[in-house]
Amino acid sequence: MTRKDKPAPRRRRLVRFPQLKTEFGIPWSRMHVDREEKAGRFAKRVHLGPNTVAWWDTEIEAMLEARSAERESAA
Protein backbone atom coordinates (compact mmCIF):
# COMPACT_ATOMS: atom_id res chain seq x y z
CA MET A 1 0.00 0.00 0.00
CA THR A 2 1.44 3.33 -0.99
CA ARG A 3 1.21 6.50 1.00
CA LYS A 4 -1.37 7.90 -1.43
CA ASP A 5 -3.75 5.03 -0.66
CA LYS A 6 -3.94 5.83 3.05
CA PRO A 7 -6.43 8.48 4.13
CA ALA A 8 -4.82 11.47 5.76
CA PRO A 9 -5.21 11.35 9.55
CA ARG A 10 -7.75 13.85 10.79
CA ARG A 11 -6.27 16.54 12.98
CA ARG A 12 -8.00 17.32 16.25
CA ARG A 13 -9.16 20.88 16.70
CA LEU A 14 -10.09 22.85 19.76
CA VAL A 15 -13.62 24.24 19.59
CA ARG A 16 -14.68 27.38 21.48
CA PHE A 17 -18.19 27.92 22.84
CA PRO A 18 -19.67 29.81 19.83
CA GLN A 19 -18.61 26.96 17.55
CA LEU A 20 -20.66 24.43 19.54
CA LYS A 21 -23.79 25.87 17.93
CA THR A 22 -22.47 26.78 14.48
CA GLU A 23 -20.48 23.60 13.82
CA PHE A 24 -22.21 20.98 15.96
CA GLY A 25 -25.75 22.30 16.35
CA ILE A 26 -25.56 22.35 20.16
CA PRO A 27 -27.90 25.20 21.21
CA TRP A 28 -27.23 25.01 24.95
CA SER A 29 -26.27 27.90 27.19
CA ARG A 30 -22.85 28.07 28.83
CA MET A 31 -24.45 27.11 32.15
CA HIS A 32 -26.11 24.03 30.67
CA VAL A 33 -22.85 22.91 29.03
CA ASP A 34 -21.17 23.34 32.43
CA ARG A 35 -23.86 21.22 34.16
CA GLU A 36 -23.65 18.48 31.53
CA GLU A 37 -19.85 18.45 31.75
CA LYS A 38 -19.90 18.17 35.55
CA ALA A 39 -22.41 15.31 35.30
CA GLY A 40 -20.07 13.48 32.89
CA ARG A 41 -22.40 13.83 29.91
CA PHE A 42 -20.29 16.32 27.95
CA ALA A 43 -16.67 16.48 26.84
CA LYS A 44 -14.17 17.81 29.37
CA ARG A 45 -12.99 21.35 28.76
CA VAL A 46 -9.43 22.42 28.08
CA HIS A 47 -8.35 25.60 29.87
CA LEU A 48 -6.50 27.87 27.46
CA GLY A 49 -6.29 30.87 29.76
CA PRO A 50 -7.87 32.36 32.86
CA ASN A 51 -11.18 33.06 31.06
CA THR A 52 -10.82 30.88 27.98
CA VAL A 53 -11.93 27.29 27.54
CA ALA A 54 -12.39 24.98 24.57
CA TRP A 55 -13.22 21.35 23.86
CA TRP A 56 -11.65 18.80 21.51
CA ASP A 57 -13.86 18.37 18.45
CA THR A 58 -13.30 14.61 18.42
CA GLU A 59 -14.63 14.31 21.98
CA ILE A 60 -17.73 16.36 21.13
CA GLU A 61 -18.37 14.17 18.08
CA ALA A 62 -17.98 11.03 20.21
CA MET A 63 -20.40 12.42 22.80
CA LEU A 64 -22.98 13.20 20.10
CA GLU A 65 -22.58 9.73 18.58
CA ALA A 66 -23.07 8.12 22.00
CA ARG A 67 -26.25 10.13 22.61
CA SER A 68 -27.53 9.19 19.18
CA ALA A 69 -26.82 5.51 19.84
CA GLU A 70 -28.64 5.72 23.20
CA ARG A 71 -31.67 7.24 21.49
CA GLU A 72 -31.72 4.60 18.77
CA SER A 73 -31.37 1.72 21.22
CA ALA A 74 -34.21 3.09 23.35
CA ALA A 75 -36.58 3.16 20.36
Q: pTM to 2 decimals?
A: 0.80
Burial track 41-59 (b if 16+ CB lie within 10 A, e otherwise): ebbebeeeeeeebbbbbeb
- Which tens digits make up the pLDDT trace of 10-68? 789 999 999 999 999 999 999 999 999 999 999 999 999 999 999 999 999 999 999 99
Judge contact between 20 and 60, C-beta under 8 A: yes
pLDDT value of residue 19: 97
Quote the distance between the C-alpha of residue 10 and its chain's center. Answer: 15
Inter-residue contact 69 to 30 (CB < 8 Å)? no
pLDDT of residue 8: 67
Q: What is the 8-class DSSP label of residue 4? A: G
Mean pLDDT of the 3-15 span:
80
